[in-house]
Amino acid sequence: MKFGVVTFPGSLDDADTVYAVRDVVGIETIPLWHKDRDLHGVDCIVLPGGFSYGDYLRSGALARFAPVMSSVVDFAASGGLVIGLCNGFQILCEAGLLPGALVRNQSLTFVCGQARVKVERADTPFTGLCQRGAVLRLPIKHGEGCFVADESTLRRLEDNRQVVVRYVDEGGAATAGANPNGSLNNIAGIINEGGNVFGMMPHAEHACEELLGMKDGALFFRSIESWVGREVRR
């Protein structure tokens, strides 16, 4: 299978994502430029973290209009797998591929550190190798990571089981103290109704090898590889 990693002006985790997927996890990876319209036959697209277009207007608001995003929207509509990490999550929301929005952290400060997330669903293409209820440790670094949505959207996300990962404490409880940015319902990552588009604020790409102190992030990329492999064999 092949991953495609998009670079926007201001992306800063694109190279890290290519390294994590290609050199650590061992999956072929193709860099995609923001002006590209050809996705080169990739099986999964990654929108990486960073500050696309300097985060002007709102995080992800300008990247949503990059030429590559027209192809990404079409790719997602056809069932293609798309994962957005941090700024990528913001872009997916701005593009209408995921509901809700990411706004300034409740503290109004940039947060950088580690967070724990609980896997609420292990039956998605992005979490298939995880255990439901498992608590994973992942890095965070963002200023606009507070997930918000209107009451009806939030209720629909919960009722449809579209919340995939949630901020929790060491014991797996979704407490206020475990929530680094004030996200409603401690939401750290959600999936679309079709189950093929996933956005998450924590950085899976920075947690793929023991040398960096954590490797839980590799589970997301390996889950995608496993899912695509099963689909091909059908």
Q: Which of 34, 44, 86, 144 is catalytic?
A: 86
* CATH entry, 2-233, from 3.40.1160.10, 3.20.20.20, 3.40.50.2300, 3.40.50.880: 3.40.50.880
Is residue 191 a contact partner of residue 122, using CB atoms and an 8 Å limit? Answer: no
Is residue 47 a contact partner of residue 85, using CB atoms and an 8 Å limit? Answer: yes
Reported as a pLDDT band with limits 50, 70 and 90, residue 232 is low
Q: How far is Cα 114 from Cα 231, in angstroms, rounded to an integer?
A: 34
pTM (two decimals): 0.97
* Cβ count within 10 A of residue 196: 22
Q: Which of 203, 206, 208, 225 is catalytic?
A: 203
Q: Can 203 be counted among the known catalytic residues?
A: yes
The dihedral built from the CA positions of residue 106, 111, 113 and 115, taken in this order, carries a sign that is positive
HSE of 43, CA atoms in CB hemisphere, 13 A? 18
**137 CB-near residues (< 8 Å, 6+ apart):** 114, 115, 116, 207, 214, 216
Q: Is 224 helix (H, G, I), strand (E, B) or coil?
A: helix
Sequence ranges of the domains in the chain: 2-233
End-to-end CA distance of the chain: 15
What pLDDT score does 231 carry?
A: 72
Q: How far is Cα 140 from Cα 86, in angstroms, rounded to an integer?
A: 8
pLDDT digits (tens, 9 = 90+) for 2-46: 999 999 999 999 999 999 999 999 999 999 999 999 999 999 999
Q: Is 5 helix (H, G, I), strand (E, B) or coil?
A: strand
Q: How far is Cα 228 from Cα 234, in angstroms, rounded to an integer?
A: 10
What pLDDT score does 70 carry?
A: 98
Q: Which of 94, 120, 144, 205 is catalytic?
A: 205
Q: Can 206 be counted among the known catalytic residues?
A: no
Q: Write the DSSP string, 60-71.
A: TTTGGGSHHHHH
Q: Can 205 be counted among the known catalytic residues?
A: yes
pLDDT digits (tens, 9 = 90+) for 191-228: 999 999 999 999 999 999 988 889 999 999 999 999 99
**Strand order across the beta sheet in which 163-168 lies:** 28-33, 2-7, 44-47, 81-85, 197-200, 187-191, 163-168, 111-119, 135-142
